[in-house]
Each structure stands twice: as structure tokens, then as C-alpha cells.
Homo-oligomer: A and B are copies of this chain.
Amino acid sequence: MFENEFYHLIQKQDLQLPELFRSLKTIVSSLGTSPVLSNDLVCLFPKVAQKPYVRLQTQSTPHISAPLKVAAVFSGGQASGGHNVLVGLQQALQNLHPKSLLLGFKGGPDGLIHNRYEVLTKERLLGYYNTGGFDLIGSGRTKIETPEHFQSVLQTAQHHQLDGLVMIGGDDSNTNAAFLAEFFLSKNITTKVIGVPKTIDGDLRSSEIEVSFGFDTATKVYSGLIGNVARDAISAQKYFHFVKLMGRSASHVTLECALQTCPNFALIGEEIAYHKMTLSQITHALADLMSQRANMGKNYGVGLIPEGLIEFIPEIGVLIQELNAAQVSENSRKLLTSLPASIAEQLQDDRDPHGNVQVSKIDTEQLLIELVKKELAQRTSYRGKFNPVNHFFGYEGRAAYPTWFDASYCLALGYTAAILIDQGHTGYMAQVSNLIKDPEHWSVGGVPLTSMMAFETRKGKLKPVIKKAYVDLEGEPFRCFLAQRGRWGVEDLYRYPGPVQYFGPHEVVRQRPLSMQLEQHALTYI
């Protein structure tokens, strides 16, 4: 018989839960202070903006819960662990009351709008525990934006008499969740809205939200592969591998993978933006590195490039803005003609339905390869061989089996969302913290969604959105990287993390992201 043994075993893996969850009926909410918000936010969210921080705690006397009907929906790109959020929700709801129901809305927010759903019973969830992807109910990128959308979702909520709606998504989806919570309150609808922080990019975090789920799995999958490629590079001594990494605008993924693998270079978009580096400066810096290595007889190496790099280079940012507005200045025109033909073509021709340049489709790694190649060809002092190989690690890491950490974190997030609803909270992001500790010692609560919001210009309009968290150039992860990268450039200090493990000793299976360990001063990085 042809069995998928790994799948069968991972299904049986026992995960620990925060101690609090041993007895859900004794959980009470301890209310903290309310976040200090701008007047503009308070005006936009008059009801939700008053909400205080919530911490879930245990008291001795149990309370009685009524049956709950809760909807869950995935929004946006895959992140590993999503199915465990559903399992956590289902387990907690059942535990609170056996007549509680979990509905999974299908194909993302669009499913809420069109009332496409299925009931997620324990039986239906069998086989999805500890698996990657969102395939059980699918996902989508529709945003609940128009008055008609809001009305349709309201109808769905009323039709099912939903007690709660759990939006599992990134910054935009959680912004949506805040608007929905406010909208429901304004209409006296009792459906509570809770967001769950999902994104491999790692840019949905704050002082309260330590990490979004999916980041750990994606960075571990990519780091394992980068390690393999580095080992191949140092063995063959023939190729320089340019590895582009998924993670949209922020460079958290690249920074974590750099800390994991110690490559010869890693570009951090936030640093490039801070120093206002031009494409030419980046090219020269890379060509200098290639020359220096060639002088040491090293015509090989590995470098990491964040997917969103191109947006951080000020001159390219201007060019893209001007192309989007169809008004290209003399400077930008010069820049455009200096770019390799294939890239100039992508910038000019590949537009999204709104006519905007599709930044994510630009082959940044290929752009850098061609520019460095050209620069090296012009240097008479360069006597090395530059054989570049380009890679893009992205889809491989979005729907992988979740790591132990993501699997455990997601299960806890599902429980937390269910309990927040049971306790009557709305407009919150489910919060699980102290993640560096063992799961029994994790704290759980809710963070008011509005506390993470600020006004940003989107399509020319000032809009309230959940702030994206960028790499902190003063933070410990970046400082460690900064202290080491000079040596990594010329010495070959590659670290080979290996593939994600599930059954071994805790120090291998339960490793948290290095950047999280550094932020929480739980690691000395030398």
C-alpha cells in the first residue's frame, strides 16, 4: 500500500497549549488601558476606538457559555498554519459548548459577500491538522470595501446569526476587520469581529504582536534551501547564486534568512532607503564584493535579495510613481534607458488592471545580475569569472507543512479568537505572546485593532490602515547582521540549517526565528 507516512505521522503530533486553555470555562477577561489614538481615528471608529487591551486570565469559578456560531475566513496569500487556526477555533468552540458551530467561508472575503460556506465539524477538519495551505476552504484577495460589500457581509452575518467572525489575514484584512467591527456595532449587530495575524512577510507585528504566523515556516524553508545552495556554491566554486526571497515590501524574511545562513551579501530594503542608495551605488558595492572575492580566488558565492527591494531604491520609486502617473521626468527617462532592456520593458509594459507597474513581477535579481555583469566587464582590474545563477524562493514556503512553532502558535491563536468572541470582544486582533517560552507559558489576549492603525496615502487618498512593520535599523537583529556581514562577505562562514524537522530533539524542532530570539535577548549571536 502506498502511504504518505509523513502526513500520517504529522497528523498525530501532540501540540501543547497555553496552560490557561486547560479549562476554557474559567477564563475571564482582564481589561487594561485603552490605547491613545489620534482624533481622526477616534472619529472614524467611534465605538471600536474606545476598546482597552484585553488579557485572558483564569478565575476559580467556571462560567456557563451559550452555543456560539462563528465564521472563519482566510484572506490573501497562503501562510503555513492556517488550518490549525481552524482546528483551534473548532476545538475551543466545542469545548465551550457542544452545540457551538464553526462555519468556514469559502474563497476568501468573497465567500462572506456571497454567503458561500461549509460547516467545519471535527470530522471535516480531520486530515487538515498540521498541514500547510488554505485548501480546506480556500482564500481570496477581495477586499470588503464598498457599501454594497459591507451590506452583503451584514446580511450573511444576520442570516446565520453569527456570534463571531474571524478574519485570518494580513494588514489589509485586519484593517477590514476593524471597519467591519465598527460597522456591525453601528448597526447594533452583535457579531464580534476578531483578526488573526497572518503573513509570511513578517511585517504585521507590533510591540504586542510578536510575529505573524507563517513567517517561521517560510523563513525556515527558504533558509534550508539557501544553505543547500551555499554548500553547492562552495563545493563547485563556479557560480554566484542570487537568491530573491518573497516577502513583499519589508525585508524581514531576507534578514531572518541572512541570520540563519550567513550569506556573502544580503540587501535590506529599509537600509537602502535610509541611506538613499542609488541603483548605481548598489551595483558598485556588489561589484566591489565580486572583485574582492575574485582576488582571493573565490569566483562563487551566495547573496540574498528581498522581493520588494526595488521599491526601496529612491530613484526607482520615483520612476515607478511617474510611470504610474504617466508623467516621466528627464531623470527617470535617463534611468529607464540605463536599465537592461528586459527590465525596462517589464516596467513599461506589465501593468495591473489599475494601470500600475507590477513591482512583484520585476526580476530584481536578474536586474542586479545584469548591472553587476556590465560593471565588472568595465573594470580592467577585474580578472575573475562571474557566473551568476538566479533563484526565487517564494511559493515553496507559503504552503509548506507548518513548523512546530507555527503549528502550535496557530492552534493557540484559534483558541484565543474563540474565547475573545465568547467573552464578547470585538475589533481585536488575537494575541498570543511570550512566544519564546514553552507554549504552556504563553500569554493570551486581544489587541485593539485600532491601536495598530495609522493614516497612509493609498491611491492618492489618506486612509486608515494597519501600519506595516519594517525592519528596525536600530533593532538587535539588524545590528547583529551589521556586525557580521563584513566577515560573511569575504570569509565563507555559511551556516547550513537543514530541512525543517518534526520528530527530533526540542532544540531542533522548536527553534524560534533567530530574529525573535535576538529581539527578546534570548540568543547571543556571534
Contacts and interface: CB of A to CB of B under 8 A. Distances in A.
Interface of A: 1-7, 9-10, 77-78, 107, 131-135, 138-139, 221, 224-225, 228-229, 231-232, 234-237, 239, 241, 389, 391, 395-401, 495-505, 507-508, 511, 514, 523-526
A133 B107 CA distance: 43
Interface centre among A132, A501, A503, A523 (most CB of B within 10 A): A501
Nearest to A510: B5
Nearest to A497: B6
Nearest to A220: B499
Query: Main secondary structure on chain A at its contact with chain B?
Result: loop
B396 A228 contact: yes
Contact of A235 (B135, B229, B524): B135
A135 B234 contact: yes
A503 B508 contact: yes
A507 B9 CA distance: 10
By CB atoms of chain B within 10 A, which of A3, A6, A78, A221 has the most?
Answer: A6
Nearest to A4: B495
A459 to B, nearest CB: 23
Most buried by B among A135, A139, A229, A241: A135
B503 A236 contact: no
B503 A235 contact: no
Contacts of A507: 3, 5
Q: Residue among A3, A397, A499 with the most chain B CB within 10 A?
A: A499
A505 B231 contact: no
Contacts of A9: 504-505, 508
Contacts of A131: 231, 496
B4 A399 contact: no
A281 B526 CA distance: 57
A501 B231 contact: no
A3 B239 CA distance: 28
Given A133-B234, A225-B225, 9 more contacts: A6-B498, A78-B231, A133-B235, A225-B396, A228-B396, A231-B400, A239-B395, A391-B396, A503-B503
Sorted from nearest, which 4 A-B pairs have the closest CB atoms? A503-B504, A499-B499, A133-B231, A232-B399
A232 B496 contact: no
Nearest to A139: B235
A343 to B, nearest CB: 14
